[in-house]
Structure 1
């Protein structure tokens, strides 16, 4: 073999070595990039043990079945998670219902969309004077929250209880939208955090779940539970992302990892009948 041929062979070997090294480097970088792209940050509000356990289970399944790593970021109030999603600080959030999202988008020029349902927390009509709906007398006074979304929800509860009829075709209603009130109920508007406290001074009150337990209200005082139907669809909690990211496979994997029989079992364990899994409910 001539010296010239040896040099050619050595050169080809060197090129091959460089190429192989480059391929491994590219492959490693690609793997790293893929790992980064499979990390999904989910924003929630006020992380409790129940929420943490439910999301820990979803995270374990997402990692095992879909190769997606879920990271949870907890926020202290309801004003932050949608802005964080819209700005790209987090990928998803899971803290709100459809009605809240609709109001937020209207006030903030859109930018956030729902990609999956989680659960619904039915609210209740409570009374310390009566044990059944049929016992409420004509002219009874019923307290409802006075803010737009909660008042509307409370009026739909009274509608489904059979007490009133509402003007059709509206998502948010007020007492002005009551078109029939055969029992001549007196609707008393008070702040949401006061509804639980005034139960003793009225005939009944629709009280949000956040304020019912602190007010000592439970099954004993419950005379009606909000049904899960088309009227309550807007109160279903949801997983949301930025507009345009609805079909992101990693985000859809998070939804699938959450919507399982195991999640249903954990919801039942921690919340009993106070929370109902809503992803496979027909409205």
Structure 2
């Protein structure tokens, strides 16, 4: 009887050990797969190709599955992020985010960098910036962030100077205008169409592409320097989530040499990988 009890207890101990082993993951591979949903803008095949490459890296290296929610309106991705409809978004630069947070009282933060898309000055009338005549008309986008960007471009091109400590420039921020340029403010989508009516136009790359304007034909390209830092595009998260490891891993999956190669393949020099650029 004593021997029988010993056998029964031995069986019980083994069963408990087996149950505990499997319960705590010792007998099976623990699943660490995560799914992260990112809000992006729709309709850009080049960006889709870049994110496809990033998705491969995220899955193979960090066991993260990336899903995408596409938007057609620039006001939507930050709303979706604040509402929890997406985990991250990647569509905006620092200047847009700062303006959004201020206007909407949100706490969205940048957790990684993606690309910078330099804006360019185009002309059908002159071949070089120095040939822009006195009194020439230059069209610029009229929304706050892009107008500021355009005016900083004109400043860097040596056409105007801006008042000291200007961050968000308007035409009122112009300190010196030696060529007496006339600044024509237009909706950003109309600047490309204005080329035939003005001496030169500052045009965002996406609108230049839509108008079949070769970005290589620009007479001046926005330099990558301290002035342009605010135009670097970012991966953004809600502030409370900025330290989540899976989100940090998504950033790592993006900021790779392979992603940089894909950006160059898709965009040439129209877009530049921004996470390791040196700002002069």
d(CA) in 1 for partners of 2:68 and 2:11?
Answer: 49
Give me the TM-score of the superposition, normalised by structure 2. Answer: 0.91
Segment drifting more, 62-71 vs 138-147: 62-71
d(CA) in 1 for partners of 2:62 and 2:210?
Answer: 41
| 1:254 equivalent in alignment to 2:253 | no
Structure 2: state its 5+ residue gaps.
Answer: none
Structure 1 partner of 2:8: 10
How do residues 1-283 of structure 1 correspond to structure 2 at under 5 angstroms? 3-27=1-25, 31-32=30-31, 34-35=32-33, 38-219=34-215, 221-283=217-279
Distance apart, 1:265 and its partner CA: 1.2
How many residues are matched? Answer: 278
Say whether the 8 Å CA contact 1:128–1:221 is kept in structure 2. no
**Which consecutive aligned stretches of 4+ in structure 1 deviate over 4 angstroms post-superposition?**
none
d(CA) in 2 for partners of 1:107 and 1:30?
Answer: 47
d(CA) in 1 for partners of 2:8 and 2:72?
Answer: 65
d(CA) in 1 for partners of 2:44 and 2:219?
Answer: 29
Give me the TM-score of the superposition, normalised by structure 1. Answer: 0.91
Deviations 1:83-135 (A, max 9, x none): 22223332211111111111111122222110111101111111111111111
Distance apart, 1:74 and its partner CA: 2.1
Segment drifting more, 113-122 vs 60-69: 60-69
Distance apart, 1:220 and its partner CA: 6.6
d(CA) in 1 for partners of 2:190 and 2:44?
Answer: 24
Deviations 1:115-162 (A, max 9, x none): 111101111111111111111111111111111111111101100100
Distance apart, 1:262 and its partner CA: 1.3
Distance apart, 1:236 and its partner CA: 0.6
CA RMSD of aligned residues (A): 2.0
Segment drifting more, 227-236 vs 246-255: 246-255
Say whether the 8 Å CA contact 2:64–2:246 is kept in structure 1. yes
d(CA) in 2 for partners of 1:194 and 1:214?
Answer: 11
